[in-house]
Structure 1
């Protein structure tokens, strides 16, 4: 019998372990939620010990389902990016709560660095902008403000979630894959790569605390046999958005993945040449196989699925999220109604945290169907703005492959194709993040000769949406959006 693959998928609110066959067929899943801690406004923390306990329980359940550790070819790990863990190198126990990617406690520190003129060198080396979203400033803050970390001395280890899990799973391997390392703001993603002394000094992080950077498809160790009744190789790792891009088989330049969840994360593969953005997009490592590093350009939309949730829970406009599709279909057009969903400001490419949401074009002829349709249309308009920014940075989209909760909406998927004038694909198996980690693990275990082969064999079927909107109607709709957006940005 062909051995199976275990994927540990560490999200922001839950731990999940999935079992896959070697051809990418999902065979089972176990999931546990964990607590979110909010010590004060803008602060978000996790208990890494709770994450570890949940990981063990979920992984043991899937190993049992497979018939034992000897039936598993490899483990792959994918995780919430930028969240940092602090632990004891001897015991493996956390020394403080993990600081989550959503945490904004270092906003003033990042603003001060930006005002001092440091953002240009940070962007050139790391591909990222100065923002508390990323790990480096969080680590620097913790070292200054949590005395137990300083008191730990040489026993202190630091890393992102996958780094912590590998340490615990193997009993001591301190590594981080290149995609997660590229989100810390401490790695030079150019040339040979590696932790950068200048960036580490700027953010107050001693390099000695950091893990070894490894590739995404290489064996990094085996699990402690006592954990699962046998040693299992750990052979594949990537941050969640990179893993989703891989799971969608977006590996060639121009192939683009969009995850429509609470917000929307869009990554476009750019090949082995690192992209440079003049439009405040992010350059990041997509995957590293051996010595070959591939890059992506990334843009984030703050509000996607959360807009529909707001129309349901905050406005009472929808009985359930699925109702939006039927309402959108019930009217011939938007009736001149446009909704700019700046409920938490505007993300890329505008970067206006002060912007406020607006609904324009209302009249007595407007009904809730027009507002619901305008909300769905806004997803395509925001994606179009990003597509223009990507193209201006030299990374145009060849197609768009979508996943996430909102991607189940057929009307929205077709509207994306119409407004972007691109073919849009939605996979039948929508858990692209876990599938991408399975592809990495399968490659690392030697089940496939390279990642491209694994992606081709494991991705499965997809539904295609092709453009069906005339050029003039597309132009008219986009002009209406630009007019509505201009009022919000003024």
Structure 2
């Protein structure tokens, strides 16, 4: 009988349910997008029930497809979960209902909250870095929770009455999928997701009393921290009722596992809504001296945790969505790639896609999207190519920081995610990095990572050696085709463009205030 594993991949713009066999091959899947809400500039929200409903829908549609292939739902032995990280959801322990929209990881409403928190410590934004490995920034869940408690009365009331449950997306989904309030839903989070809250001690892998006190969260109900690979509970309803959820990883850590970056020094870059590069640092956390994040890479059962350095680009694939949805100048990513391939360069145009500020290693929440170098010669094709180059330049800056922290320069980079499907984007990436870019044939490595975690928990695999043949065939290697002189010139231009993006959040706020006065 076939041994199948299901993977819930709940991302920032879409959800998918992917079914793998024990060879790591995709049997079938279903994917759907959901609504992105932007109630104010810099705000990004999701309806928590949209996320949950999308998971149910994807599971049921994938099972229908599976049956058409001659399989049954009962062939699926276990389920893994991977999810958008840092996104915060709050709910009432008395009703089980959410209290406020999910505040998404890329949301920047907490700029003032960060300033207030940083002022509490002589270390400023590094107040908790020795504990959690992270700087104070709008990115992380703990800061978002502090904003809710400072601004949303219903959340404050729930806290005062000891009814405030808090979790990242994995916690919300597992709680509801395993029964919720009425049927004994399990409230857990794995170490990778917990490491993105600023509330977990990355050394002890427990909630940090110091961090909780710093944020003022003593009355908040936090989930139990568990490993990335163990049985948490079983699905309470639907075609897969009774099937165990046995693996959980934040999406970028799941991609690291899916790319089998199990050795110290292995690295991968995922090009999704954002872009995320992780570098496996082994069994000890490494504090970056160059603006990177220290995070938990994975923890399988009772085995020691592995750690990673991470650099994040806030806007990658979402810049394509912006060109499509907001400007209406392309129909889809395929058209962008076609247009970008019609020119050999951007003709001096740089597109700094800082829609929500710049993440590692810049950490400039005041930066905003900027297009530099436009002339009468500039065409749509140049803008499209500049959008692809923007992701590649930011990835280069992260890679340089990793090389400095690790003291061991990477010789090649494993890639995955939606934008990695673009040959031109991956060729640009190799050109800008000056090292080979290694792309697998099957790019659903995030879903594969959570399936691997679940498979280990349920005995489908027992050692990493058994994974050696998974997703190794027909990989594509992109190698640089430009000179070092041209590479340096291009990268110097990028850094000049980045500097011109700084401070625009403050300018935009001033203009917005003036507009309100004029309207009155």
TM-score by length of 2: 0.83
The Cα shift of 1:80 comes to 1.4
Distance 2:219 2:195 in 1: 15
Q: 1:286 matched to which residue of 2?
A: 297
Residues 11-26 of structure 1 correspond to what in structure 2 (within 5 A)?
A: 11-26=11-26
The match for 2:120 among 116, 123, 134 is: 116
Residues 23-422 of structure 1 correspond to what in structure 2 (within 5 A)?
A: 23-63=23-63, 65=66, 67-89=71-93, 92-117=96-121, 118-143=124-149, 145-147=152-154, 150-151=157-158, 153=161, 155-170=163-178, 171-190=184-203, 192-206=204-218, 209-224=221-236, 226-228=237-239, 230-289=241-300, 290-308=302-320, 321-335=333-347, 337-344=348-355, 345-355=357-367, 368-394=380-406, 396-422=409-435
Structure 2 residue runs of 5 or longer lacking an equivalent are 179-183, 504-520
Partner of 2:397: helix, strand, or coil?
helix
Q: What do the CA deviations read for 1:162-189 (whole angstroms, capped 9, x no partner)? A: 1122222333322110001001110010
Distance 1:59 1:313 in 2: 28
Distance 2:399 2:383 in 1: 24
Let me know the Cα RMSD of the aligned residues.
3.1
Q: 1:3 matched to which residue of 2?
A: 3
Partner of 2:142: helix, strand, or coil?
helix
The Cα shift of 1:461 comes to 3.8
Q: What do the CA deviations read for 1:432-451 (whole angstroms, capped 9, x no partner)? A: 22111111111111111135
Larger CA deviation: 125-134 vs 461-470: 461-470
Q: 1:346 to 1:176 in 2, by over 3 A?
A: closer
**Does structure 1 conserve the Cα–Cα contact (< 8 Å) formed by 2:372 and 2:497?**
yes
Q: What do the CA deviations read for 1:7-58 (whole angstroms, capped 9, x no partner)? A: 1122234332222212122122233444444555544443333433332333
Distance 1:47 1:288 in 2: 30
**Does structure 2 conserve the Cα–Cα contact (< 8 Å) formed by 1:63 and 1:72?**
no
Distance 1:275 1:42 in 2: 31
Count, aligned residues:
487
Distance 1:324 1:40 in 2: 28
TM-score by length of 1: 0.87
**Does structure 2 conserve the Cα–Cα contact (< 8 Å) formed by 1:126 and 1:187?**
yes
Partner of 1:448: helix, strand, or coil?
coil
Larger CA deviation: 469-478 vs 209-218: 469-478
Distance 1:291 1:129 in 2: 28
The Cα shift of 1:391 comes to 1.6
The Cα shift of 1:320 comes to 5.3
Q: 1:475 to 1:48 in 2, by over 3 A?
A: closer
Structure 1 residue runs of 5 or longer lacking an equivalent are none
Distance 1:275 1:114 in 2: 22
Q: 1:4 to 1:470 in 2, by over 3 A?
A: same
